[in-house]
Amino acid sequence: MSHIFVKQGFEQAKKYLRAQAIIIVSVSLVALIKDFQITIALLSGGMAVFLANLYFVYKVFSQSGAQANKKVVSAFYIGESVKIAISVGLLVLAFIQLPGKEVYVLSGYILAYLLQWLAPVIVKTH
């Protein structure tokens, strides 16, 4: 029974990640009208969140089953900690590589995080 819930959760997470990637890329491509560097900055900020979420989903759903209860909790905490480190590291890298475009990097980052809050509306659960 628990494997069914894990599989459903994993499928929901994949749908969310797909939707997040599509929206991040779409918004970034719209910025091509203005400037290629802005597009790269928006994409960099969004990818800092997306790649961190991708790792988190992989880590959390790598453990499942009733016998793996403590492993799931441990995977969750490790996944969240590494997710934050990935996100911060990618943001720092984007700031270094794109001087003067920090506002756009942060805009992409914030947009991607807003998508997490809107995920229940964006991704249908049934």
Q: What count of other Cβ atoms lies within 10 Å of the Cβ of residue 92? A: 11
How far is Cα 40 from Cα 61, in angstroms, rounded to an integer?
31
Q: Higher confidence at residue 126 or residue 12?
A: 12
pLDDT digits (tens, 9 = 90+) for 66-116: 556 777 778 888 889 999 999 999 999 999 999 999 999 999 999 998 887
Residues 6+ apart with CB under 8 A from 101: 37, 38, 40, 41
Total-model pTM: 0.83
Sequence spans of domains, the chain: 2-121
Q: What is the mean pLDDT of residues 48-65?
A: 84
Quickly tell me which residue has 């997710």 as its tokens. Answer: 83
